[in-house]
Chain A
Amino acid sequence: MGSLDTPISAENGSAHATGHGKSPLTDGGTRAAPADSVPEFEPSKRRRSSMLPLEVGTRVMCRWRDGKYHPVKVIERRRVHGCGPNDYEYYVHYTEFNRRLDEWVKLDQLDLDSVEAVVDEKVEEKGASGLKMTRHQKRKIDETHVEGHEELDAASLREHEEFTKVKNIATIELGRYEIETWYFSPFPSEYNDCLKLFFCEFCLNFMKRKEQLQRHMKKCDLKHPPGDEIYRSGTLSMFEVDGKKNKVYGQNLCYLAKLFLDHKTLYYDVDLFLFYVLCECDERGCHMVGYFSKEKHSEESYNLACILTLPPYQRKGYGKFLIAFSYELSKKEGKVGTPERPLSDLGLLSYRGYWTRVLLDILKKHKGNISIKELSDMTAIKAEDILTTLQSLELIQYRKGQHVICADPKVLDRHLKAAGRGGLDVDVCKLIWTPYKEQS
């Protein structure tokens, strides 16, 4: 593990000076480990030199951060320096993992002996035509890619992957943390030439250089998100930011969030959304932990559009808190709600856990019969979500011409244990909030 950290951070270190996309790099000197230094094995030498540079679509083994070799597929390549066949680096997708782990690797991380002789036929075919875009568009969709994309049809998935296939920003600095990004985010074209962005922790303005951020910090007058605090419990605070009143903040937040959300769209403007920003507060200010956004008026009864816990705060129960919070808001509105689809792999996991916990807690205590509608009214969870949750846990059985709910305490406890306890609870009496009303 540790051995691999070095090359990754080396890449990050030179990131801000590196050209974006296919443009050749001008600062070749900073690149470590030129391809020539790769230890070579005589028998494979000739074969290898003939296959370099690797074609897009090639399947090969690649050394990952755990020090082990994993199968990858070459998504894109770019010239580093010089013009030899070895002077390329490759953007690879680990076929075992989610797209968020796609990264640029150097030739020495690839095990060239493992290159599969048969490159994707379609790629070969189209390669001759020389049209890069077409070639990529025709790229067969990797089966392992499909996780978390079940709800998209093939065409829109292809389009989505084509235009977001290579991360544009590699890392960001946000407050105390320097975070590797997960996905492409459509920053304005002025930012096409940089790989690292510096975010102001409070107003979320982003800059290309550290000095710019430091200058900004001297004048930035915000210490918390520019909205109303609607919840405070200990050091935890929730702010409601109106996308219409704080357009730039909302947009900044979306740009930032997109770096960590695959299927978020920034297609529409933020003024129809409210942003609920969760913060941990200390003497330096209120530090964003995560957020969820919500349409002011949802016609599909969505109570949540996007949800994100920033990577440094993940697996601490904040996601579950955000989900619980979104349902508390729905309860105050007197509506049932459901998250907008598609859910990411991590999102689905959190939601399943939340639904399971809430519903099973009720079933454990409840006496007598109960309808799905009643469960829905009690929890503000949409009836469909209740059904899928109970059905996936096989708690709804069909027998003698009617459905019954199985609530064997042992079975429920087992499921509850599997779902994990929600780390942070929402204390409803600390929520001071009125549902959004259009001021017109």
Chain B
Amino acid sequence: MSRLSFRPRPLDIHKKLPILKSFKDFEDDETPTSTRNSQLLRIVPEVEHEAHVPHAPSKKLASEIPTPQFVYVDTYERDYSCTFVQPTSYLRARGARAEIGEFVEYDLDNEDEDWLSEFNEERDILTPEMFESLLFKLEVLDHKARERAGLLTATLGSPIPVLLRFETAMETLQSLNVKYTILESVYDYWKEKRIQWLKPILRRLQPAPAVNDTNPYNVFRPREKAHRLHTRRMQRRENNVQSFEKLRQVRRNLDQAKSLLEALIKREEKKRDVIESEVTLQRMQMKYKHETEFLEDNLAMSGFTPFSSKLVSSEEEYFDSDDVMTSLLPRSRSTVQNLHPYDTNLPMVPTVSAKQELKRIQVPHGWPHKLDPLEPVLLFTKPLLPGKLAVAGILPPDSIAKNGVSAQPPYTFRGRIGRGGRIIFDRSNLLMQTPIDCGNSYYMPPKPRPSTCN
């Protein structure tokens, strides 16, 4: 039995295969199944047998394949001259002979030689070299003539006419210093030969056989490159209704996929537009909110020292952040500079309160006026209503302080509802009008946490 009785799983070429360095490995973890057993039993004796009788099958076979013979050519040393010197650098190709020009590509054949010896009649009228050169030039001239006439497309099989006229040939060949009569004879001989051959006698100028020429004796057809099909499936493409339908189905599927993708692109673009609009909306709302909030602040938290509304309304104050309070406060740098140094703080207070007084008149009471009903309610920035706070029994810390020792508290407090819904009073510097915690404040007092109530 030389084959396994079961069919092994096809081998995965990407899978790492263990390499067993010894046949013993086979035996050691051998399981007692009959197939494997027999396989191994088969291998081991074979190995032993081969080890004992060293043989070289392929080598033996090679020496057994007989081939035809060869002999040495005795004239070789004479025919080929010792004139080659190998340069130290690698040799580079020159242009092809046809491009170099002067080389006589044509070699006389038997027919030419016979004609020449008859023509010469033992005298040296025309040397073989000159004859070769003349025939070569006639061929090239005729080729050029056919090229000019646009007759080069002919393929092998159809006769190729001689277009070169003797007079034309004469004009060019005159420079070779050959007698007129000799040229005439050579031309006649060449033309006759050409008519007989039906094709150029210089092989380079002979056209290739047609692509669909099936004659196996005709060789070196041009090969159309574009026509090659890439996959096997394409190569055995059948031209019938079934495959037509199949291809139509493929086309339908692809069209559907395409429109689906286009719709998808549209949808995603719309989504992006929506997001962008929302962002713009948010920004505008925030900007708007800042303005209204401060108005509200000033109105609602009358007990707290408000900010100058001038700061808030200025275009520079626009800030893209969700924490309105903290973002807003440090923005007052110009004001801060104005307020600096500290001793200017006292006259400031009445001015501010006067402005605040004015605004209170203009703005009606109640919840802040929402111009846009869609405006999201940012709970933690909601201003506190002092009335409601009072009802709930919550007092701003500074009012508590007023009842205490200090009449002029070092801090002022601003109330708001925090993120978690707690009511937060931010302690802020009265003079600087910045929160105590603020990093870019000039004044950095020891850092008590903002007090929270509730």
Contact = CB atoms under 8 A, between A and B. Distances in A.
B58 A368 contact: no
Interface string A371-388: 111101000000100010
A101 B92 CA distance: 39
Contact of B21 (A269, A346, A402, A408): A408
B70 A180 contact: yes
Contacts of A282: 84
Nearest to B14: A373
B65 to A, nearest CB: 6
A121 to B, nearest CB: 28
B221 interface: yes
Interface string B56-77: 1111011001111111110110
A424 to B, nearest CB: 16
Contact of B80 (A175, A299, A417): A175
A215 B108 contact: yes
A251 B13 CA distance: 40
B352 interface: no
A406 B20 contact: yes
A272 B223 contact: yes
Contacts of B51: 410, 414
Interface stretch (A50-58, A80-88, A181-189, A326-334): A181-189
B110 A404 contact: no
Interface in B286-342: none
A269 B19 contact: no
B68 A177 contact: no
Interface stretch (A26-34, A111-119, A125-133, A309-317): A309-317
B67 A283 contact: no
A289 to B, nearest CB: 13
Given A228-B93, A239-B91, A251-B220, A394 B43 contact: yes
B204 interface: yes
B81 A284 contact: yes
B328 to A, nearest CB: 64
A178 B73 contact: yes
Contacts of B67: 100-101, 182, 311, 314
Interface in B196-248: 197, 203-204, 206, 208, 216-223, 225, 228, 230
A43 interface: no
A247 B204 contact: yes
Contacts of A312: 70
Interface in B6-62: 8-9, 11-23, 26, 29, 31, 36, 39, 43, 47, 50-51, 54-59, 61-62
Given A180-B69, A269-B223, A371 B14 contact: yes
B449 interface: no
Interface stretch (A71-79, A135-143, A206-214): A206-214
Contacts of B132: 215
A419 B59 CA distance: 7
A371 B68 contact: no
B201 to A, nearest CB: 8
Given A248-B204, A349-B61, A370-B16, A177 B72 contact: yes
Given A173-B73, A186-B217, A408 B23 contact: yes
A420 to B, nearest CB: 5
B271 to A, nearest CB: 44
B357 to A, nearest CB: 85
Contacts of B50: 414
A41 interface: no
A372 B11 contact: yes
Nearest to A284: B80
Contacts of B83: 223, 283-284
Contacts of B386: none
B84 A182 contact: no
Contacts, number: 254
Contact of A373 (B13, B69, B94): B13
B223 A268 contact: yes
Contacts of B94: 226
Interface residues of A, number: 112
A267 interface: yes
A111 to B, nearest CB: 20
Contacts of A407: 19-21
Given A207-B109, A246-B96, A186 B216 contact: yes
Contact of B82 (A268, A283, A349, A400): A283
B79 interface: yes
B278 interface: no
Contacts of A420: 56, 58-59, 62
Interface string A247-277: 1100100100000000000111110100000
A370 B93 contact: no
Contact of A182 (B57, B62, B68, B208): B68
A145 interface: no
A269 B213 CA distance: 13
B220 A403 contact: no
A209 B113 contact: yes
Nearest to A353: B58
A219 B43 contact: no
A341 to B, nearest CB: 15
A226 B68 CA distance: 29
Contacts of B56: 417-418, 420
A247 B222 CA distance: 12
15 contacts: A65-B69, A188-B203, A190-B197, A209-B110, A223-B83, A254-B220, A266-B219, A282-B84, A284-B81, A311-B67, A314-B67, A315-B62, A373-B13, A405-B18, A417-B56
Interface of A: 9, 65, 97-98, 100-101, 159, 163, 173, 175-182, 186, 188-190, 201, 203, 205, 207-217, 219, 221, 223-224, 226-230, 232, 237, 239, 241, 245-248, 251, 254, 266-270, 272, 281-286, 299, 311-312, 314-315, 345-346, 349, 352-353, 363, 366-374, 376, 383, 387, 394, 396-411, 414, 417-420, 432
Given A269-B221, A397-B26, 17 more contacts: A179-B70, A182-B68, A205-B107, A210-B75, A212-B109, A215-B128, A226-B97, A239-B91, A246-B96, A266-B220, A268-B221, A284-B82, A286-B84, A312-B70, A346-B62, A372-B11, A402-B17
The 6 A-B residue pairs with the shortest CB-CB distance in the complex, in nearest-first order = A398-B8, A180-B68, A369-B16, A266-B219, A372-B13, A229-B90
